[in-house]
Chains A and B, each alone.
Chain A
């Protein structure tokens, strides 16, 4: 334990892309296949991430953050996603919880949770999806009932990233005919966690099904207002940030595919020549180079609009996530193809990229939902 603490102290603070890259190359990327095999992120890495200040640097200084802008935050999430999508997933859901506390929390709630979330002392998770409700948030069944001045929560949340490890859950529940957000500490009586060990991708993201059985909560558990209008906004805002993080992580996957394929095709020969000399390989590489740049620019644009407080960031983020995750799935598939049988085995990381990229097309609003939303943009100016 002592050695881990000393080790964590040696970790450099992460405050921009370059420092994130150093952190990821030292502590994440070389071990990511192992994380996937074990199905979990080791506690030692979580401590190092805490020491690096990576969990919620966008929080203001008084809450333990450094007030980081969204463009820089996105670059850091991209670098983490380049190393390991499971680690980035933990970062994403934690970011959503911490941002919601910052944006919608009362001064008391910010004090209660801000520092713990900034330091990594408390890890957050985002609980929206249910066994019978995925991208259709309106269908959720989990309920919050007023009781003794506080609340009682009942329901089941499924596919909860970091559900196995998180200390506090941001739970969306039906309340007074609408949807409200609640902060539920994991140690509250009635919270039951069941790990989901087998999953297609992001296999180390410590997924769980979390059941809430008559979970008693005080009045300050409600985060933000519970009116129909406002609740939708809490959800929209939180998902928007999650989508942004997934978009950045998808860029990271494409970059990782590119790096892996450039190295492999330079080394591997066919008929005496390196694979890189084949035009069909060059075609695949050129598409990766082009798409990673395009996706990175879309993400940066969404980030810039966030930093300006510009409302058009929401659509920009939808588009960035749609483009980046679709491209990641395409290129991860090609990366496996380029690696041939080696791409199917455990020695190379591309099989992991392939599994993780598929998940990116589903989470934080499936790409079908994205396409419906983005298509509406095409007709908005015509038919109203």
Chain B
């Protein structure tokens, strides 16, 4: 899994919620951060930052629970390893 992708996702979440202490494996849905607005923002952030299009069948809540699972999603969707 790309560490860079994971860190970028985490930085985005922390940027939106600076007071929260979130680790890369914490479930942000369980923590109560997610509403439909933030979910949409997350999808847009991932698509823009990593230049991927998330297909409909990958739009599952389990792919977006943690920074780790989002980075794994990015890995699956990227034709080449992400290098930033």
Chain A-chain B contacts (Cβ-Cβ < 8 Å), number: 64
Number of A residues contacting the other chain (C-beta, 8 Å)?
28
Given contacts A228-B61, A230-B56, contact A240 B48 (CB under 8 A): no
Interface residues of B in 27-76 (CB under 8 A from A): 33, 36-37, 39-45, 47-48, 56-57, 59-61, 64
14 contacts between A and B (CB under 8 A): A106-B56, A232-B36, A233-B36, A233-B40, A310-B48, A311-B40, A311-B41, A311-B44, A311-B45, A315-B37, A373-B37, A380-B17, A381-B17, A384-B20
The answer to whether A230 touches B60 (Cβ under 8 A) is yes
The answer to whether B19 touches A382 (Cβ under 8 A) is yes
Contact residue range for chain B?
A: 20 to 34
Residue of B whose beta carbon sits closest to that of A138: B36
The answer to whether B61 touches A227 (Cβ under 8 A) is yes
A293-332 CB mask vs B (1 if < 8 Å, else 0) is 0000000000000001111111100000000000000000
Given contacts A225-B56, A225-B59, A229-B59, contact A314 B17 (CB under 8 A): no
- Docked pose: A310 CA to B12 CA in angstroms: 12
- Docked pose: A383 CA to B45 CA in angstroms: 23
User: Interface residues, chain B, CB within 8 Å of chain A?
Assistant: 16-20, 33, 36-37, 39-45, 47-48, 56-57, 59-61, 64
Residue of A whose beta carbon sits closest to that of B51: A309
Describe B's contact surface by its main secondary structure: helix
With A225-B57, A228-B61, A384-B20 already in contact, 7 other A-B pairs whose C-beta atoms are closer than 8 Å: A229-B60, A236-B39, A308-B48, A309-B48, A312-B41, A314-B41, A384-B17
Describe A's contact surface by its main secondary structure: helix
- B48 cross-chain contacts in A, Cβ below 8 A: 308-311
Does A348 sit at the interface, judged by CB under 8 A? no
Shortest Cβ distance from B70 into chain A, in angstroms?
13
Interface residues of A in 122-158 (CB under 8 A from B): none
Residue of A whose beta carbon sits closest to that of B56: A225
Most buried by B among A228, A236, A237: A236
